[in-house]
Every structure is written in C-alpha cells, then in structure tokens.
Structure 1
Amino acid sequence: MDFTRIIQKNTENKLFTHQLIHNSRRFLLFILIFSAHLMNGQSGPDFTILADKAFLKLYQNSDECISYTQGILVSDQNTEHKMVLQNIISQALAMKGDYVQSVNIFAQHEDADPKTGISYFMQVFGGYNLADQYQNLGLYNQSKKIISHLLSDQRLLKSNDPALRITTAKLYQLQALNSGINRDYITALQNLDKSNRYLSDHNEENAIIKIENRTFRSSYLLKQNKFSDYKILINRVISDLESQKNKPFLLGLAYENLSQYYFLKQDYEAAIEKLETALGLIENLPFNNLKIKIYESLSKNYYAVHNDEKYNQYNKLHNDLKAKTDLNSKEGIRYLVKLVETNQNKNIEFQNYMHVRSFWYLILILSVIVLGLLTYFLIIKSKNRDLKKQFDFFEKQISQKPQQLIVNKTSVTKDPGSTKISREKEDEILQKLEEFEKSDAYLNKNMSLSQLSSQLEINTKYLSEVINNREKNFNGYINKLRINHIVQLLREDSAFRNYKVSYLAEYSGFSSHSAFTTVFKSVTGMSPNAYIQEISKTQTA
C-alpha cells in the first residue's frame, strides 16, 4: 500500500512538474511575442521623431545637424531611413555652400545594393533627392524634368502614406522654385498651393515646409508688385517665427526678403535695418548661402546711401564668400556630371527620324536671315557713325526682348566644314537656348560651355556648333546676353545709373571692370559711362 502511494505521489509530482514547465514555456513565449510586438511598434515612431528633430536642426545650425544626423545614421541600418538621413545631411552641406560633400553624400545612397530591392518610396525619394541636388547646383532644367516625371504618377498623388505625402509636398515646392527662377510666378504660386495640400500638422517637418512655402509665396508676390498682399504675408511669417525663436535660418531669410521690399521703395535705411537683423541671427552660424544674399543686399543698400566704407566692407565679404562657394559649386557640378555621364552619353545620339524640309524653302529663309545678320553686324561695327546714331541704333536693339538677341529658329549660318546636324536636332537645341535666355543663369560668372551643355542636356559639340553659327564663340554669346541684360536694367531702373561701373561689371557676371567695358563698347558702340549719360538725357528729356 505504501508502495502504491509512493508511485501515485511520484506520478502526481511528474504531472505537476510537466504542467509547470508547459505553463512556463507558454508564459515565456507570451513575453517574447509581446516584447517583439512592442519593439516593432516603437521602431517607426522612434525614427520619425529622430528624423524630425534632425530636420529641425537643419534650420538651426548646419554643423550640429550634420553631427546629430550622422549619429543616427551609424546605428540605423534601415535602407529607407538611411536615404532620408543622407538627404538631410546633404541639404545641410548645401546650405553651408559645400556642394562637393553634398554630392558625395548623395552618391553614397546611389551605390546601394540593387539585389536587396527598392521600395516605391525609395524610388520616389531617390528622384526627389536627385532633383534637389540639381537645383542646389543651378541645373534647374534637369531638376524640373525629374520632378515633372515623378508628379505624373497618380499613385504618388493619391497616396495616403505620410512619408510619400511629405515627399510630394517637397517636390511641388522644388518645382515652384524652378518656375520662379524662370520668372513664371503664376505657375510658381500654383505649385506652392499644391505643395500645401499635401502638408499636415503632423510634425515639425510639415510645419517648416509650410513656413518656407509662405516665404517663397511672399517673394513671388513682391516680384509681381502686389505690395499690399506681400506685406501682410511676410509680416505674419516674421511674427510667427519670432514667437518660436528656434529657426534662425528661416527668420533671417524672411528679414532678407522684407529688405527687398524697402529697397524697391528706396527706403534704404529700413532695408539696412532688416538686413542687419537678419545677419545678426546667422552671423555665427554656417549658413553661407544665406550670408551671401545678405552681404550682397547690404552692399547695394549702403552704396545707395553713399556709405562707401560699409559698401566696401560688405562687398568684399560677398565677393570672397561667393568666389569660394562658386568654386565649390563648379566642382560639385563636375562630380555630379561624372556620376551620370554614362547614361547621359547614351541619350546623346543622332536623331534622324524626322522628315527633311524643302531644300529651296530653307535656302530662301537662310538667305534672308544671313542678309539681315550681315546688315546688323555692319551697323554695330561701323565706326563712322556719330554717338547719337550709335545710341539710336542700340536703343532700337534693346527695345526688343533680350531673349531674341541671339537665338532665332530660322537663323542658320552653317560652316561648310561643320558636323552635319539635322534641322530637327538644331531646332531642339535652339528651343532649349531660348528657354535658357529667359533665365538669369548667364549672369553666373562660372557659366561655361560644358556647364550649359550639362544643364541643357545637349552634346557639347552640337551646342558649340549651333552657338558658333550665330556668334564668334561661346564667350561672345554669353557676354552679349549679359550686356543686353544690364542695358535693360539701366533703361528701366534709374538706381542702376548711379552705380559704379565696377559694380555693374560684377552684377552682370564679368570678371573685371576692363573686360566689362571692352565688351560693352563692342556691343553698344559706346562706353558704359557714355551710354549712362545718353540714357539719362533721354529719360529727363
């Protein structure tokens, strides 16, 4: 009997032990599942919060933003997260004027392993990132082309994914800036409206993009001379930013924006006050691109009030910093061009699929245009005309649109030894040149044939040949656009007639006073000072 009880007791103990082990396993499994669920649930919001903080630091201090974001980047192996963080670092470097490193950071995510696959978000965000790089480097046509392609996808426009919606808002904002560069302010404002539709009050990034959109909107209203609407909007932006006190870049940008209004109103003292306030906000911060704008505006305003000491001080600061960033920008363009060189070369080939137009019709048109061009240059080069006749001719010349000075689709003077380019290809190049001449990009001191070729996505040899058929060389083409631009300003804005010739040379993109004077005389038939005297007489007559 005792033996039976012992067996029964052992059996009960074994059952109890088995049940205890089973329950323990179930509890452990529950803990593991709960922990995994908790970790997964927190990983998304944690990154969103960290990335949002990094984006805020972008407008507080570029160097701190880079250090902070790199710290996140080291510990986060998520491919999508890395792409977003690299874009923030790239933007911070661009705001410093370090375009080479900005492109370098961009290139790192381009080297991601394609075998791991790429999500739709990465495709869209990668396109946005490239468009952003192009715009930072002044290659606006490439930026515009990429954005137009991305925004043609209904999947993107109809998506409710917060990450895709904020990216769409950024794309529309970039496109607005591209339109603004081309002075298409109506389209620019429409794109800002579309950008705002994709924004929410979800986080700091959404709020910052809203502020940027309002600032850009005010700038375009000012350029349209809608002063009342402009003042209301820019003052609200400044009031909101001053109450937050944590976005010095945006507040400095807004004050620089407001100074332009007072400059147009010729209230130079008020403009200087706003600019000094803007500079005080960022003077010790690495926002070099904004500093360049502020230095330039300060030099213009101090020149207008005849404060030579301050003018020289800020003009030197502007020239030194601008030269440094321009050099870096040029290197950045070369670097970026090398990254896409292979694909670009594949796209540049002969396109002989169009029908050839009537030979005799072409000869007739060419003969008329050639005759017109010969007459035109003979008049310009004539040294036997008195100064009044030269002035009358040039005034008639500049009364036409500047864009029509060089490019004319029907004007062709081919060199018999040149490469054969189809009429259709030539028309395509001429159309792109027309669009280029509508912008102020030719005022860039570093504008070169290779840079223009990259910007317009045209084979350098073809572009050179088309330009040389109309001008002696590329430099002659660019310089004529610059002179025509500065002449237009001298005629329309009396303030420019009070500026020194050295400032006019700097403003119009010439490397020296003497070079500007030589080219100006070759185009207009008179020196800059003589022209200013004549135009002043005409305006007061």
Structure 2
Amino acid sequence: MIQRTLVFITILFLCSEVLCQEKAVDSLCSHSFDQLYSHIEKYSGQKEVWPYLQAYLIKAKKSIEWDETVNAYHYILSELPDDQRMVYADSMIYAAEKSESNKVIGSAYLTKGILFYNRKNHTQALDNYVIANRYLSRVNDDYLKYKLKYNIGLIKYYLGFYNEAVSLFRECVNYFEQEDRRAYLNALHCLALSYNRLGKITESVTINDKAFQEARSLKRIKIMPYILQLKGVNLFYVSDYKDAIAAIKGVLPQIKKDGDFGNEAVGLFYIGRSYWELGEKQQAVSYFKNVDRIFLEKNYIRPDLRQNYELLIDYYKQQENLKMQLYYINRLLKVDKLMARDYRYLSAKIHKEYDTTRLIEAKNSIQKELEREKNNRIILVVVIVVLMICLGNFTYFHLNTNKRWKKNFEELMANKDKPRSALVKTSATKNLDINPEVVGQILRKLELFEKRRCFLKKDINASMLASGFQTNYKYLTKVIHFHREKNFTAYLNDLRVDYIITQLQSDAKLRLYTNSALADEAGFSTTQHFTKAFQKKAGMSPTFFINELNKSL
C-alpha cells in the first residue's frame, strides 16, 4: 500500500513538472523571434536554453513561417549531441522545402551535409553538398557560396585532390578574412593541411602559424589541438621526430575526447612513423595497430593512412612472422577495396556534378557579361534617369519629413510643461469584468511603478510586472488597456520615451550621448527598439529632436 502511494505521488510530481514546463514554454511564445534568439544565445550550451528553443519552434510552426522554422531547427541542431541530430536535420529539410526559397533550401542541405561529414560519412555529405549547390547557384549570397566551397574543399582534401583543395581554401581565406573571422581561421587551418599533403612544408608551417595566432586572438581553444597536431606532423616532415612525437602526444588525448577518430588515427600514425624513423620499430607498431583498430571499429580510412599497413606488413616480414604478415595483407586488401568503392563514387560525383555545375555557371556568367557590354549605353542612360528620379524622390521625402518633424517638435515643446503620460480613466470599470477593488489596487501600483521609474529596468515584461503586483497577467494587461488606452508594450515604451525626452530637455550632457547610450539610459534592450519607439511617440528621430533642442536653447 505504501509502495503504491509513493508511486502515485511520484507520478503526480512528474505530471506537475511537465505541466509547469509546458506553461513556461507557452508563455515564452508571446516573445518576438529576436527576443527568443537573444535568450538562445545567452543560454547556449546550457539546459536553460531548451524552453526558448521549444518556444521558437512552436511559434514558427503556429505562424507557418517556414524560414523561422528552419532557423529553429538550426539552433536546435547546435545544442544536440551528434547521435540525435539527423532526425531534426530531416525535419529542417522538410521545412526548408516548404519555404520554396532557394537560399533556405540550399542552406538546409548544406547543414545536413556538414552533419554527415562530421560523422565521416563523406558519400552522404557530398550528396547533400551537390543538392545544396543546385539551389545556391541560383541565389546571390556569397557567404553561403563560399561556405559551400569550403566544405567541397574538405571533400577534395579527403579524396587526395590537394591542388584543387588549395585553390578552394585560398578563395575561402581571402573571402572570410573580411566577412567571418571564425570561418577564416578554419580555412587557414585547412589550407595549411593541404600544403602539408602537397609536401610544401614551409608554406604549411607559415599558414599554420597564422592559424595559431588567429585562434589565440579569437580565443578558439577547441581548434588548438588540431593546429598543434599539424605542427607535429610538419615537424615529422623536417625530420624532427622527437619534437613531432611530443607535439602530437600533447594534444591526442583532447582529440580523442572530442570523439574525432579521423584525426586520432592521423595522430597515432605520425607518432608511429616518428618512432619508426628513430629505429624504435616495436614502439611504432603499437601505434600502427591502434590505427588499424580505428579502421576495424569505425570503418574509416583515407589515402595517406594506407602506408600504415605497408609498414606493418614490412615489420612482420622482417620478423618472419607469416601469420601476422598474412593478416595485415588481408587488412590492406580490405582497405583498398573500401577506398576503391568509396573513392570511385566520390571522385566521379564531385567532378561530374559539382565541377560541371561550376563550368555551366562560368559559361552563363560570360554570356551575361557579353550581353551587358552590348547594352551598356542603354543601361547607363536608364540608370542615370532612375537615379535622377530616385534623387528627386529622396529630396522631396527628406524635406517633407523634416517639415513634419519640425512641426512635431514645436508641438512637443509647446506642451513640454504638460504631463505626457496617458490619463487614467475615472469612469466605471464594469466592462472589465474585474473586481473594482482589484482594479484600484492595480492602478495604485501602476502609479507607484511610474512615480518610482521602475519602467527603466531592462527586460521587464507584463508577466514579471503582474507577478510583482501580486496579480495575474490577464488582469494587468486589461487594466492597462482600459485605463491607459494602449497595450503593455506601448505603455512601457511611452513611459521610457517620455522620461528620456524630459531628461534631454533638462540635462545638456545627456544630449551628447549616442542613441545606443540613450537606449540604455531609458531601459531599452536594443538601439533599434529605442529609435523606433521614440519616433512613434515623438513623431521624429532622437537625433533630430536633440539637434532641434540644441538650436532652441
């Protein structure tokens, strides 16, 4: 009986927990996508992020905004462990295709390809990159195109087309240096790897040192083991075997901890090769066997690791151990069979589908360029006419706007001594369906809220205020709507704008502040929200108001 009671209590507790979580997510759905994203960024990597992710996805699905639904899945994927990502990736593809946007669909397939690549499934990765390229070749988004080039470069590197990989990674380095420092760092590292495989060790060392400095500057600790491992590999190629061993051994535990069995195999192989060159062949063999273990467990190998088996066969040949010699011959045959199958598919597909697409793009680009030259004069005339019309419209709009803002400023200054906060209705509150005593309590608390300037507190919302007033969200918003004649957001924004207007009129130092500083002073979370609220309330921009105020005083 006691056991049943305990089980019943446990079930009740779990149900109440689930209900509380569902209510929390439902309340978050009232937030804007920008607000939800700011919290997702804030709690990234923590369990607190999940209610905001769920709210973002639910809100996007309910409003049938497929672009935002795809964004929600992107954010969710970044928080999930590897083994759970593919299910959400399929949902992301479905939402992307519903959007009917080439950019969104291409980006989704690119993301799915990256997930496959991270799992060392290069065939599936390439299939998705090819599909992504079909869509992205139709859009004008250089960032996504270079991101695709970078990932195609990784496949080229894996296949052993190192010259082609260098060409792609160089392009990515040049582009991302100005656009995205993290992507620039990754491209630098891959360029250094490609130079190493080409035997251009001096270039590899130079680029890898650049990557190291960039990683330190960006505090990108996660990539450091891979940069230092390449440093160790480069040391091997300049015959500094002891330092190569020390460098790779120093970072191998972290690479293994990251679950990167591909780079773990590379590290083990070059430690083994270094011991081999030092004449410590028995020590070397133990590392070569670990490379084979990874192949056995993960079915992963790449061309530059093939020598691992040649050295094992050579070792056991010298030991006259026919059994082990035969064993590793069979292992090498299996390696060759796997590479022949995968590499034939990958190399044929990458040249046939990706490179052909690039040639067609180049052909179309040249044809368009010739057409542009043919019609250059006509286009120039049209452009000039359009610019003149646009300039005229802009001048008219600017003058008209200034005239309207000037009038609004004069009216505002004429009424500066009058209270700007909305009048409280004194009429009966029967239509509110709320106990008049409750309404009175809320109004008194609102007056204190305004008098004490509690509205300057950042990130305040109706739910928080209702909790502070010891009432509920529905009552509070109804009272504000009836007695202040506006919704909660407009009410809060107007109080803040009224406050900052009064402060600007009385404090000359405040007029030297930037819009960002003024937004912070007034309690707004972003400069954009502040300027938009100010213009809506005052009928002019904050900058115009300050300039006119300085002129009039």
Task: Report the TM range for the smaller structure's normalisation.
Answer: 0.3 to 0.5
- TM-score computed with the length of structure 2 as normaliser: 0.47
Q: Which has the higher helix share?
A: 2
Bigger Rg over Cα: 2
User: TM-score under structure 1 normalisation?
Assistant: 0.48
